[in-house]
Copies of this chain bind each other. A is one copy, B any other.
Amino acid sequence: MKFRFVITSPLFLLSCLVSGPSLAQSSDGAPTTQRAVTDEEAIRAVLASYNAALNGGQTAAVLPLYTPDGIFMAPYSPSFIGQTAIRKAYDAVFAELKFGVRFDIAEVVQMAPAWAFVRTNSAGTTLHHSTGKTTAEANQELFIFRKGDDGLWRIARYSFSPTKPPRL
């Protein structure tokens, strides 16, 4: 009785190895794996989607990850409050910068059934279109996630700052 589960086929093994995307949230609640996706897994999947959207440079891929009343607190600008302001912020960022960064999750803390926070560190490179130069990036991030009535986790508040002094 030590091993109750056995791998029955190479295909099943393959499906396990590439099961990352199947942990994404399912809006209709349909099971995407043999077990339910936990809140933490769903939150980590949203963060992975955010990381990919940032590197992809597509505002349209970023916006659905925020709540309708989401707030984006980026350095050197007043807080961007709500989807319209957030859209303008990312449009401006992506017009100038092309990111190649990676977010590493330091902690995921679920505070309530519909609230969680995530602390991350990110690092990588940034290509500046106006100068053609690529610089190193390193930031620390604090996200507050909210679970909607549709069961989907989204970014409600997001504050970050660089971990290195600005180059003067």
Q: Kindly identify which residue among B78, B141, B166 contacts A166, using a CB–CB cutoff of 8 Å.
A: B166
User: In the complex, are the beta carbons of B117 and A140 less than 8 A apart?
Assistant: no
Q: Kindly identify which residue among B74, B106, B144 contacts A161, using a CB–CB cutoff of 8 Å.
A: B74
Report the nearest B residue to A157, measured CB to CB. Answer: B142
By secondary structure, the A interface counts as strand
Is A75 an interface position by the 8 A CB rule? yes
Q: How large is the interface on A (under 10, 10 to 19, 20 to 34, 35 or more residues)?
A: 20 to 34
Q: How many copies of this chain does one complex carry?
A: 2
Contact residues of A between 81 and 126, Cβ < 8 Å to B = 106, 111-112, 115, 117, 119, 121
User: Given A73-B161, A75-B161, A117-B157, list of 19 further CB < 8 A pairs?
Assistant: A73-B140, A74-B161, A76-B161, A76-B162, A76-B166, A77-B163, A79-B106, A79-B121, A79-B140, A111-B112, A112-B112, A112-B115, A119-B157, A140-B159, A141-B159, A159-B161, A160-B161, A161-B161, A166-B168
A selection of 12 A-B contacts at a CB cut-off of 8 Å is A73-B119, A73-B142, A74-B161, A76-B164, A77-B163, A78-B121, A78-B140, A78-B163, A79-B106, A79-B119, A79-B121, A166-B166
